[in-house]
Structure 1
Amino acid sequence: MGSRMMHAIIAHQVGKYFEVKDLNSFIIGGIAADANLTDKDTSHFYKGRMDDFSKVIEIDLFTEKYKHQLNHPFLLGYYTHLIADENWLNGFALSWLKNRLDHDDDIFYRYHNDFQVLNAKLLKHYNLKETIKNIFDEAEVESKVDEVKTEDIRTFIPYIIKDIDYKEPDLYEDLQVFTLDQLLGYVETSIQKSILKINQNNFLMSSKS
C-alpha cells in the first residue's frame, strides 16, 4: 500500500487542515496501522483476497468499533490511513500493480526503490522534512486501538526517521514504476477524501482539543 512517508504526509496535511492541537498524536495514528508487522489484515480491517480481486478495507467496521472515541486525534489519524490504503488498493494494487508484481520478478525491487526515492521527492515537495522529523523525534506514543500495540509503534518509528533522512541524490533519481504526478495525485486525493469523510461523518467534534 502507500509508503510510511506517504501516510505521515497525508496525516500531517489533514491534521493541519483541521488545526488539530495534538498533531503529533494525529500523525502517529496515521502511520500506526503499518506498525503491526505480523497481522496487517487485522490492523487494516482487510476482508477478502487479492487473488480473486475480492480484497476490501472494511472502514465501516473501524468507525463502528471506535465510534465513541473517534474525536481522538490518534483515531482520526488512523482513519486517514485506512482511507489512503483503500485508495491505493483500488487505484493501484487491484487495478494493475498486482498483475505486474505477479508477472515481472524485477518490479518488486524497482517498486520499493521508487518508494525510497519518493521519500525525498515528497518531503521536498511539501517542505516537511524537518517538521515530520521533529514530530517523530519527540513523539509520545500510546496506541488507542486494539489492533496495534504501543510497543509495535515505538519499534516502527525508527524506520520512519530513517526514511526522513534521505540521500540528496534521491531528489534527482528517476522513478521506474510510478510517476511523481501519479503519486502526488494519490496523496492529494487521500488528503481530500479524508477531509471530506471526517466532515461528512461529524468525526471532528472536539478533536482540536
Structure 2
Amino acid sequence: MGSRIMHYCISAGLARELMINDDQFFLGSIAPDVHKNMNTPKSISHFMKEDNDGKFFADYLEFNHKYLRYMKDPFYLGYFYHLISDVIWVEEIYYKKIKWLPQPEKKEAQLKYYRDFWRLNGKLIDYYSLAYRPIDVKPIEIEEIDYRYLPELIKDLEVDFLMKDEAKAEELEILEFEEVIDVLEKTVRECVAISMNILSYSGS
C-alpha cells in the first residue's frame, strides 16, 4: 500500500532496532510487491482477507502461521513486516484520504496519491540518509510469489534510488511529508512490539 521506498525506510529502521544486517531482510521487505512483475493479483502475495465490515487487510498472522518454521530467516521476517506495514498504512493514510471518496473525486485523488509517491522517494531517501545496497536473490520457498521475478523488483528499487532527485522538489498534492514520517516511524515501533510478542511466542 505504501511505496517501495517507504518499505525500504521501514526496513532500514527495523534493521537498526533489531540489529539485523542482512540484505535478504531488505529483499523480503519489498518482496510482496513482486506481484506487479508477475502480473498476478495483489491479494495472493499480500494474504488479503476481508473483515466483518467489508474492509480488506493483509493477514500477517496467517503468513506467520503458514511459514512459522522459517520466521527466523531474514527474508521471511522482512516479508512479515511488509504485511504489517500495509495494514498500518491503509488505516492511517489510505482510508482517511482516499478510500471513501465518491467518484470521480476518488480516481483523481488516487492519481495525486501515486504522483506523491514519486515525489516522496527523494525526500525520504534524503531524510533518512538511505543508500541503495545490492541484493542477491536466492531460491525462496513461498507459495504466493515466484522468486525468479525478484531481480525485476530489485531493478525497480535501484531505479527509485537512481532517479530520486527527479521530482523531490515538487510540492505534494495529497500526502503530507510530516504525516508520512509519523506513519513510517509508528510502523517501526509497532513492528518491534509485534516482534516481542507474536514472534517470541511463536518461537517458544
Q: TM-score, normalised by structure 1?
A: 0.86
Deviation at 1:47, TM superposition (A): 1.2
SS in 2 for 1:188: helix
For each residue in 1:15-58, what CA deviation from the matched residue of structure 2 results, as whole angstroms up to 9, or x when unmatched? 22211132x00000000000112121011110128xx7421222
Say if 1:106 and 1:96 are closer, same or farther in 2 by CA, change over 3 A.
closer
SS in 2 for 1:148: coil
Q: 1 CA distance for matches of 2:68 and 2:11?
A: 19
**Alignment length, in residue pairs?**
197
Runs of at least 5 residues in structure 2 that lack an aligned partner in the other structure: none
Matches within 5 A, 1:1-209: 1-22=1-22, 24-37=23-36, 38-48=40-50, 53-100=54-101, 102-104=103-105, 105-128=107-130, 130=131, 133=132, 135=133, 138-142=134-138, 143-168=140-165, 170-203=167-200
For each residue in 1:87-142, what CA deviation from the matched residue of structure 2 results, as whole angstroms up to 9, or x when unmatched? 122222234412237432322222111001100010000000x2xx2x2xx21112
Say if 1:122 and 1:70 are closer, same or farther in 2 by CA, change over 3 A.
same
- The code of the aligned residue for 1:195 comes to V
Q: 2 CA distance for matches of 1:167 and 1:200?
A: 36
RMSD: 2.2
Percent pairwise identity: 26
Say if 1:40 and 1:106 are closer, same or farther in 2 by CA, change over 3 A.
same
Q: 2 CA distance for matches of 1:102 and 1:89?
A: 19
For each residue in 1:171-207, what CA deviation from the matched residue of structure 2 results, as whole angstroms up to 9, or x when unmatched? 322100010011101111111111111122245999x
Q: 1 CA distance for matches of 2:199 and 2:183?
A: 24
Q: 1 CA distance for matches of 2:78 and 2:200?
A: 11
For each residue in 1:132-156, what CA deviation from the matched residue of structure 2 results, as whole angstroms up to 9, or x when unmatched? x2x2xx2111234221111121121
**Which runs of at least 4 in structure 1 moved beyond 2 Å after TM superposition?**
92-96, 99-103, 105-109, 166-172, 201-206
Say if 1:69 and 1:204 are closer, same or farther in 2 by CA, change over 3 A.
farther
- The code of the aligned residue for 1:47 comes to K
Greater Cα offset, 191-200 or 139-148: 139-148
- The code of the aligned residue for 2:135 comes to A
Say if 1:99 and 1:202 are closer, same or farther in 2 by CA, change over 3 A.
closer
> Would you say the 8 A contact 2:32–2:79 is kept in 1?
yes
- The code of the aligned residue for 1:4 comes to R
- The code of the aligned residue for 2:6 comes to M
